[in-house]
Structure 1
């Protein structure tokens, strides 16, 4: 297999998110709906000084301090209305606070979204949450998205709050953080190596994560440079293709995981009409019904993949690559960001397992949806699927913990099982 498109080297510091521009009232799925919005202490104090007005009344009714807040970043939150909308959302589908008082009165969360801000070695990185439709289009549909950036932000946004690369501590697993940049660049090379199918690239990513996970002390970090060099050599020399081709696929287990993980999302309490629409689209594509058998569902799933999804992705190889690359940038994969009050530290291989769980669900949903859309399966359907999935799960640490626990409970955390799950 030859490279379909020559790709530019990935940037060491992603900045593409700073070029994002909101569609404002023209958005497919406004961020002012369905989210729990945190309010930092500075913004909360601004809100308490607002003069008497409709906006101030909404503040008094809907903005509440978080009891026992662990940080100033999560000092308060905006309670949604009964119909799951932000109380400041206007009939013109705009932010009332921004309209009345300007950008300076936006909370850090509202000012930066959908940008994901991470600080690495003193440098601010700006990637994107794909839960925003325009951000999803910007990332998924542009073959060179990672190298896109402006000389400065397209519009102003706050940069005073950001996540940091996790660090070794007494309650967290040891990770070779000093090699973060080298590891990420090597993983970028692995993922964009189109001389081999994407599932093999993802599998090699897992092998690398497994080896890095075995570096359990500062003294053992001397092995990391050798690990990186070995995978760089795999990319340069194209080795292991024949060996990996012999790894079997377990499409039945893949479909079962997609159904279970999607059901978990629907039961997680997240109300997402768009995700439910995508899931129903998927079920229709595999002919899922109370009277259908697992064998029949699997047969239709495989047909949809071979007849519609694979041909489409072969014509658009950058789409799933871009999804994975943005994930790597956004989450500081495979090392992770500093644990928030809502998450717990994970090992490098747990970070990989979590990535696989989400990737298999996204790819599996696309397979089923292609079976329903058939010749009308297009980029628009892909963007809606990824965006609605991302909005449902990426901002829910509790759901991600449940996903990881589900995969561990079903013994889907070894390389053989994960390889079998990967769509071919």
Structure 2
């Protein structure tokens, strides 16, 4: 039965490129979950060649976190690849038995299917290199469209949101998210300043939800729409001072946190090494903060700022895609400002990667930008210990307040030569 789906237009062009992919999802090193229904299919398989291989490759989850959706998993081989990936980097199950025999995790990836009441949303996680290219490299930004849609019975639904409950703020979810995305796509401000503007709006939204005064949300949106069109108000955001030392301290914490996590993505480890080299960090145990800050500022001025001047839309598209596929902000739990802190923290850490890595390559290309983003997303979405470690770092340093997150976000203004002469 056909439904209505809201989807970014880049999804019209997405096709898995299989063995041509530079970082195949089946060789990423993460655990590939199998639901109970698919597990039973595999136990009863009669295929003459694959039957035993599949049964030997599947392992039950026998601890307290087992569920029908995470009932078993595929074992990895010595290279941290799925043991059913053939020599041509193709899935043996899909090739020989068809898509219906895939677990929902394998069949859905990299698609993200969400449901709001009776309508669906379909996007992609940017941990897939091909999806990342399509979503990120559009100078015009991410556009959306509604169309008829036949949900795939073998795809999993990540979030199922109900907006009919008058006892929480989700009745206003659509208008809030639409305005939040409008803020991020408004190019009157730098992207970092747009996120600061978003934080001011989300902070006021949190106050309304705390009072359960949901009828005030439309007036709040109207107020901030006026502010978004006010040159005076936008100028006041541009005049906020940066805090580079704070940003550098966070970078150092990021580097040190790597030791506490089992990061399986080879490509992301390459990015972390590039970040260290780009900031001239030779010994993680003996770091001179002032020297790192000097290198950071040099990279920022000479490599990062020129890249952003021409390609800021890449990071904008990353943020918009995150907001859409994560259903930002989910107001049902009454804590949208916490969702904002998470979004802003991820963006701030991603920016730190760009500044550091730009020093290693003396600049940033579009291909390098895609690699940084898809490996970053892949690590944070599929490595819970690393993600939790980063969020703990944010909280331990008190970055879970608006004032501190603004300091972490704020870009340094790089004066043009003509401005210096004046």
* TM score, norm. by length of structure 2: 0.87
Which residue number corresponds to residue 291 of structure 2?
A: 296
**How far apart are residue 346 of structure 1 and its match?**
8.2
Give the equivalent residue in structure 2 for 1:25. Answer: 19
Q: Aligned residue for 1:306?
A: 301
How far the C-alpha of 1:307 sits from its partner, in A, is 0.8
What does residue 357 of structure 2 align with? 369
Q: Superposed, which structure 2 residues align to 1:6-405 within 5 Å?
A: 13-16=6-9, 17=11, 19-33=13-27, 34-67=29-62, 68=64, 71-144=67-140, 146-147=142-143, 158-159=154-155, 161-165=157-161, 176-216=169-209, 219-265=212-258, 267-290=260-283, 293-335=288-330, 347-375=335-363, 377-405=364-392
The count of residues paired between Structure 1 and Structure 2 equals 401
Q: Deviations over 1:136-175 (max 9, x none)?
A: 1111111346326796789978345342237899xxxx85
Shift of 1:402: 3.1
Gaps of 5+ in 1: 1-11, 339-344
Residues 255-306 of structure 1, C-alpha deviation per residue, up to 9 Å, x if partnerless?
Answer: 2212313432453212121111111111221212237621111111111111
Deviation at 1:47, TM superposition (A): 1.3
Please point out which of 405, 409, 422 is paired with 1:418. 405
- Structure 2 unaligned regions, length at least 5: 412-422
Q: Comparing 212-221 with 351-360, which one deviates more in the overlay? A: 212-221
Residues 127 and 262 of structure 1: is their aligned pair in 2 closer, same or farther, counting only changes over 3 Å? farther
SS in 2 for 1:146: coil
Tell me how far apart the structure 1 counterparts of residues 148 and 162 of structure 2 sit (CA, whole Å).
27
Partner of 2:7, secondary structure, is coil
Q: Is the 8 A contact 1:39 1:76 kept in 2?
A: yes
Contact 1:168 1:175 in 2 (8 A): no
Residues 353 and 404 in structure 1, CA contact (< 8 A), matched pair in contact too: no
CA contact (8 A) 2:117 2:163 kept: no
Q: Secondary structure at the match of 2:325?
A: helix
SS in 2 for 1:130: coil
What's the offset of the Cα at 1:13?
A: 2.8
**What root-mean-square deviation, in Å, do the aligned CA atoms of Structure 1 and Structure 2 show?**
2.8
Superposed displacement of residue 215, structure 1: 2.9
CA distance in 2, matches of 1:175, 1:204: 24
- In the aligned structure 1, how far is the partner of 2:151 from the partner of 2:212? 45
